[in-house]
Amino acid sequence: MKSSLRQHAEESDLVAWNSALLYDSIFTQPVVYELHNLRMPAPLMISDRDVAAIGADGSTLGHSPHIQDPVRLHKALLEWRASG
């Protein structure tokens, strides 16, 4: 992502603003306590190995499983879909 921002400097301010809004919401408006209110079927895939997450421990798979291991992710999604 950093190299992409260097190549598209005109968008870097927008990305920085959006990132600031995202991190503000993470720190000030945690929604984890409201997840039980969801009523539609949805797979919730949260990794404790997210290297980009706040407080991450530096493990390998987590932040972008669709890129890091798409076969494993697709298998998990198809299994979830077949179960319901």
Looking at the chain, the whole-number percentage of residues with pLDDT higher than 90 is: 6
pLDDT greater at residue 41 or residue 49: 41
Distance CA 3, CA 34 (A): 36
Q: What is the pLDDT of residues 15-47, one digit of tens each?
A: 888 888 888 887 888 777 887 888 888 776 666
Residue 58 has a pLDDT of 52
Q: What mean pLDDT is predicted for residues 53-71?
A: 68
**Mean of all residue pLDDT scores within the chain:** 75
Query: Collapsing DSSP states into helix, strand and coil, what is residue 63?
Result: coil
Asked if residue 3 has pLDDT above 70, the reply is no
What are the helix (H) ranges across 29-69?
65-68
